Amino acid sequence: MTRLVVKSHRPLQLAAAVITLSALMAVVTWSLLDQGHWSLIRSRMAQSREQKLLWEVNRSLEQENGRLREQVLRLERTTDLDTRTTGMLQEEIRQLQEEVFRLKTELKFYQGIMEAAGDAKGLDVHDIHVRKLSPPRTFRLKLILTNVTNTAKDAEGQLGISIEGIENGATRVFPLAEVALDRTLDMSFKFRNFKRFESTVRLPEGFSPQRVFVDLQPRDAKQSKIRKVFDWPAFASRRGADVG
Non-local CB neighbours of 230 within 8 Å, separated by 6+ positions: 128, 211, 212, 214, 238, 239, 240, 241
Mean pLDDT of 170-195: 89
* Mean pLDDT score across all residues of the chain: 78
Distance between CA 142 and CA 140 in Å, rounded?
Answer: 7
3-state secondary structure the chain: CCCCCCCCCCHHHHHHHHHHHHHHHHHHHHHHHHHHHHHHHHHHHHHHHHHHHHHHHHHHHHHHHHHHHHHHHHHHHHHHHHHHHHHHHHHHHHHHHHHHHHHHHHHHHHHHHHHHCCCCCEEEEEEEEEEECCCCCEEEEEEEEEEECCCCCCEEEEEEEEEEEEECCEEEEEEHHHHECCCCCCCEEEECCEEEEEEEEECCCCEEEEEEEEEEEECCCCCCCEEEEEECCCCCCECCEECC
Closest CA to 195 of 133, 130, 110, 73: 110
Instruction: State the pLDDT at residue 215.
Output: 94
Radius of gyration of the chain (CA): 54
- pLDDT of residue 109 exceeding 50, the answer is yes
Distance between CA 236 and CA 117 in Å, rounded?
Answer: 22
CATH number of 121-242: 2.60.40.3880
Higher pLDDT, 213 or 194: 213
- pLDDT of residue 178 exceeding 90, the answer is yes
Mean pLDDT of 173-179: 94
Instruction: State the pLDDT at residue 175.
Output: 95
Instruction: State the pLDDT at residue 35.
Output: 62
Least confident segment among 31-40, 59-68, 80-89: 31-40
Confidence of residue 60 (pLDDT cuts 50, 70, 90): confident
Note whether 202 and 135 are within 8 A (CB).
yes
Distance between CA 202 and CA 180 in Å, rounded?
Answer: 6
Instruction: State the pLDDT at residue 12.
Output: 63
Confidence of residue 147 (pLDDT cuts 50, 70, 90): confident
Note whether 232 and 203 are within 8 A (CB).
no
Non-local CB neighbours of 84 within 8 Å, separated by 6+ positions: none
Domain locations in the chain as residue ranges:
28-116, 121-242
Residue 170, phi then psi, degrees to nearest 5: -125, 155
- pLDDT of residue 59 exceeding 70, the answer is yes
In the chain, pLDDT over 70 holds for what percent of residues?
Answer: 71
Instruction: State the pLDDT at residue 157.
Output: 92
Separation of first and last alpha carbons in the chain: 184
